[in-house]
Amino acid sequence: MEGLESFKKVSGLMVSTHKSMIFFCNTNARTKATILQRVQFREGTLPVTYLGLPLITKRLSKSDCAPLVERLSGRANSWISTSLSFAGRLQLVKATLVSMQVYWCSAFLLPVSIAKECDRILRKFLWGGQGRGKVKWIEVSKPMAEGGLGIKDLKTWNRALLLKQIWEIVINQSLWARWCHVYLIKQSNFWSLPTIGLHSWSWRQILLLRPVAKEHLIYKCGRGDKFSLWFDPWMHGESVHILYGNRVIHDSQLGRLALVKEVIREGRWDWPANSTDLVDIQISVQDIPISLTSDSIFWGQLGYSFSTKLAWQSIRARSAEVSWHSLVWHPARIPKHAFCLWLTMRRAHRTRDKLLDWGVINSASCVFYCGEAESLEHLFFHCPFSQNIWGAVLSMCNILRPISQWSDEVQWMLDHAKGQKFPSLVRKLAFAASVYHIWLERNRRCFKNEFMPANEIIDKIKHDVSLKLWLGRKSQRCERHHSLCENWDIPLG
Ligand SMILES: [Zn+2]
């Protein structure tokens, strides 16, 4: 209490007794009672929450995470009733739900079961119903360029945030890092601390991630004033201790706390030549430049500091880029069209041939009464009904050519609708709009038994595309593309 009194004198801040609580751990009942009597604070029980997050030092339990899971599903449920398109739901997932998780992740490593639970809530919200998606979640969480929807996978994000804490520790500039050095690392070195022992769960997770961090950290020697001679990984990405063991430390007689500068004399490497290993080290460090600047640490490449995004990029599983991502996710896209096209590219639509395979229906026959079976290739655009529409749309783009099979049509678009120039933009929008409206009509016939004639569908495509171009003020450049604008009924700018 004296401490608090002097704090009050110095800072002018009053301690309010009835708002304060005191927390105990490893304290016997008698000591506890004595302390409680003196301070007159209430005894608190963990976890308490601060800014919505539980304050604890041990591993987060499932019940600690209950608020996150509840809030996440509460928020998701409040939107379910509103009839949002998939594209709208995707926006909400990315903008709100994921940020709620990231907020938690930035403070804790979430238990695996919680990360899974959160993913399940997102999945269910995104796909509706039981959350059985048309595309696997692992695919959905890939970046858009790799064929996914760019929803960050929580486990990797968690690890990236832990790497941030390692960065904080090694550059040792924050208050938290200094606390770690004083209380957890002490006289030892972060890189040589054993993982076993009486550590808190989160500290152990940080220690376990050191090998990953080491792959990306760059210890750039200057004048050797900061790096630990034996334990920091400044020697070609590794520490002397890892490469040569304890023996060299002993042989050198420099002590375990030595800094790199102790083997630099007059701007040159000058290792004691007390053993063959030490002579060997003297030779192998010759290519490491010494300078007059201070030692410095970088992430990823020289000159770069840590960013969580960069770390996430470097540890996430990578897949090959898909060629079609710029066709689907170009900046001027119409979200619901883009999403439908994405499903088509991923061959994820539940077409009637699939449903027949699964035994859901008895016949795969095309809903446009052409007498053939419905498959993705058939709908886009082999079926006479859709061929008629796509042909009309192409001619509005001033393109006259025979229509071929789906994969060739996609390839043609990739070759002929590159970039953001006006004709390319029209083609991309027209392509996505055609796929969307044909799929919509197919669903209308399947589920509502309603029919829209082809010319009305073409009008809808025309309407969507021209509205988008007009709203995006793309029509200003139109004089050069007079006939395109006329075909699409785009008002001249
Ligand atoms: Zn057909």
> Separation of 269 CA from ligand 1 center, angstroms?
78
State the pairing for strand pair 21-22/42-43: parallel
CB atoms within 10 A of CB 70: 10
Q: Which two tokens stand for residue 250?
A: 């002993």
Distance, CA of 164 to CA of 108 (rounded, Å): 12
> Separation of 375 CA from ligand 1 center, angstroms?
9
Q: Which two tokens stand for residue 376?
A: 């993705």
Distance, CA of 305 to CA of 167 (rounded, Å): 9
- Cβ(435)–Cβ(443) below 8 Å: no
Domain segments of the chain: what residues?
2-45, 66-152, 325-487
> Separation of 238 CA from ligand 1 center, angstroms?
64
The reported pLDDT for the residue numbered 86 is 79
Looking at this protein, which amino acid is placed at residue 198?
Answer: L
Q: Which two tokens stand for residue 377?
A: 């290739």
> Separation of 446 CA from ligand 1 center, angstroms?
13
> Separation of 10 CA from ligand 1 center, angstroms?
83
Could you give the 3-state DSSP secondary structure of residue 351? coil
| Rounded to 5°, angle at Cα 325 from 318 and 128 | 85
The pTM of the whole model exceeds 0.75 = no
For 115, 124, 216, 355, 478, the CA distances from 394, given in Å and listed in that order, are: 46, 38, 50, 31, 18
Q: Buried b / exposed e across 9-18, counting CB within 10 Å, b at 16+? A: eeeeeeeeee
Distance, CA of 388 to CA of 367 (rounded, Å): 15
Distance, CA of 232 to CA of 260 (rounded, Å): 9
> Separation of 409 CA from ligand 1 center, angstroms?
17
CB atoms within 10 A of CB 353: 16
> Separation of 435 CA from ligand 1 center, angstroms?
14
pLDDT values of the chain reduced to their tens digit, one per residue, 493 residues: 777 777 777 777 777 777 777 777 677 888 888 888 877 777 766 555 544 545 445 556 777 777 778 887 887 777 765 567 778 888 888 777 777 766 666 666 677 787 788 888 888 888 876 656 788 888 888 899 999 998 877 778 878 888 888 998 999 887 778 888 888 888 889 999 888 776 677 778 888 899 999 999 999 999 999 999 999 999 999 999 999 999 999 999 999 999 999 999 999 999 999 899 999 999 999 999 999 999 999 998 899 999 888 888 888 888 999 999 999 999 999 999 999 999 999 999 999 999 999 988 899 999 999 999 999 999 999 999 999 999 999 999 999 999 999 999 999 999 999 988 889 999 999 999 999 999 999 999 988 888 999 999 999 999 999 999 888 765 555 667 788 888 888 876 5
> Separation of 385 CA from ligand 1 center, angstroms?
6
Q: Which tens digits make up the pLDDT trace of 82-106?
A: 567 778 888 888 777 777 766 666 6
Residues with CB under 5 A from ligand 1 (ion): 366, 368, 370, 383
The reported pLDDT for the residue numbered 58 is 55
> Separation of 84 CA from ligand 1 center, angstroms?
29
DSSP 8-state secondary structure symbol assigned to residue 447: I
The reported pLDDT for the residue numbered 486 is 86
Residues 6+ away with beta carbon under 8 Å from 71: 100
**CA 299 to chain CA centroid, nearest Å:** 18
Could you give the 3-state DSSP secondary structure of residue 139? helix
Distance, CA of 128 to CA of 84 (rounded, Å): 10
> Separation of 458 CA from ligand 1 center, angstroms?
17
Looking at this protein, which amino acid is placed at residue 40?
Answer: Q
The reported pLDDT for the residue numbered 106 is 64
> Separation of 386 CA from ligand 1 center, angstroms?
8
Q: Which tens digits make up the pLDDT trace of 313-342?
A: 888 888 999 999 999 999 999 999 999 999
DSSP β-bridge partners for residue 21:
42
> Separation of 374 CA from ligand 1 center, angstroms?
6
- Cβ(259)–Cβ(223) below 8 Å: no
Residue owning tokens 């997050």: 53
